[in-house]
Structure 1
Amino acid sequence: MNTQPILIIDDDLDDKEFIQEVWKELPYLNELMFFTHPQDVLILLKDEQIIPFLIISDINLPTMSGFEFKRKLLGDTALNYKSIPFVFFSGVASNEQIQKSYELGSNGFFVKNGSIAELKETFITIVEYWQKSKVPQLRKVE
C-alpha cells in the first residue's frame, strides 16, 4: 500500500475543510498536503526524495490554472519520470474541460459533489483505484 502524501491543489477553504473531515473517516494512512498555488507544488516536486502518491488539482486556481500547472509538469522531464498519477477535481465540468484534461495526460476528472457522502465516495474511488494500479518505478533521467 502506497502511503506517500497526496497533494491537493485547491484555493477553496470550504473544500479543504470538507476533504479533511471526510479523510478522517477513511482508513488511508496518506498525509494530505494542501496547496493554494501550483508554483509551491512545482518547487516541492523538485526535491528528488519527494514522490507523492497522487496529485489532485482544481482547474480554477490563483495565478496559474490547473491546466497550466499540468502543462508545466509535462514540460519537466524529471517530474514526468516520477510517474505521479494526476487527477482533476473541479466544481464544474464542461465537455471542453474534460477533453482538455485528457489531452494534457491527466489520469481522471472528477466533479466536486455537494454532499459529504458523495465526497467520501469520490475519494474512496480515486484512492482505491490508484492503490491497485501499477505505475512505472522511478528512474533517473540523465
Structure 2
Amino acid sequence: MLFPSHYLLVDDSPQDRLLAQEAFEALCPDCMLTCVGSGREALTLFDDPTFEPEVILLDLNMPGMSGFELLKVLKNDPHRVHIPVVILSTSDARQDISQAYTLHASSYLVKSATFTAFLQQVETFLHYWQVNRTTRRAGQAS
C-alpha cells in the first residue's frame, strides 16, 4: 500500500507526539513523520525550500501560535496553500470544527482517548489519504 511519504505533526503535547510516532511506526514504517511542538517551529521548518510535507496534522490548542493561526498562515501562503491540513484536536466543539473548515482545513479529527482507538484512527486516516492521493494522481493523468 502506498501512503503519502512525509507528514508533519504540529502538537504541543509530547505524549501525543510520541503516540503519533508509535502509531506511524506500527502502521506505516516507510512514512516520514516530522514532529514539532509549536506553530512557530513549523514555520521555521518551512524556511527550508526543500521541506514539503504531503499532509500536515495540526493540533488547535497550543500556546503562542494556535493551530487556527498557523492554519491561516499556511492557507494564505501561495507555496503552502496546496498542502492538506488535517486538524487533530481534543476539541469536538462545533465552533472549532466550523472555524477549521472556514480556514480551509481538509479534515477534522477528534483525538481518540486510548492508544488502541488512536491507532485505529491513524490507520483510517492513512487509508483515506492513500485513496485521496491515488484519485488525485489518476485525475492529473487524464
Give the TM-score normalised by the residue count of structure 1: 0.85
Q: Is the 8 A contact 1:36 1:62 kept in 2?
A: no
Gaps of 5+ in 1: 138-142
Amino acid at match of 2:99: K
- Encode CA deviations 1:29-59: one digit per residue, 9 max, x unaligned: 1111111111221222243322212100100
Q: Give the % identical residues.
A: 27
2: distance between equivalents of 1:32 and 1:4?
A: 8
User: 1:70–1:18: structure 2 CA closer, same or farther, 3 Å change rule?
Assistant: same
How far does residue 95 in structure 1 lie from its aligned partner after superposition?
A: 0.4
Check conservation: 2:4, 2:55, Cα contact below 8 A: no
Mapped pair 1:45 → 2:46: yes
Q: Of Structure 1 and Structure 2, which has the larger fraction of its residues in helix? A: 2
8 Å Cα contact 1:4-1:51 kept in structure 2: no
Amino acid at match of 2:10: I
Q: How many residues align?
A: 135
Supply the distance in 2 between the matched residues of 1:113 and 1:3 (Cα, whole angstroms): 22
Q: Distance in 1 between matches of 2:3 and 2:47?
A: 20
Alpha-carbon contact 2:24-2:31 (below 8 Å) kept: no
Q: CA deviation at 1:62?
A: 1.8
1:84 aligns with 2:75: no
User: In 2, are the aligned partners of 1:46 and 1:79 still within 8 Å (CA)?
Assistant: no
Q: Secondary structure at the match of 2:106?
A: coil
Paired with 2:25 and 2:73, the residues of 1 have a C-alpha distance of: 32
Distance change (3 Å), C-alpha of 1:12 and 1:114: same
Is the 8 Å Cα contact of residues 22 and 120 (structure 1) preserved in structure 2?
yes
Instruction: Please say if residues 3 and 126 of structure 2, whose CA atoms lie closer than 8 Å, have aligned partners that are also in contact.
Output: no
For residues 23 and 42 of structure 1, what CA distance do their matches in structure 2 show? 23
Q: TM-score, normalised by structure 2?
A: 0.85
The answer to whether 1:34 aligns with 2:35 is yes
Correspondences of 1:44-123 after superposition (within 5 Å): 44-80=45-81, 83-123=82-122
Task: Sort the Cα spacing of 1:24 and 1:79 in 2 relative to 1 into closer, same or farther, 3 A.
Answer: closer
Structure 2 partner of 1:133: 132
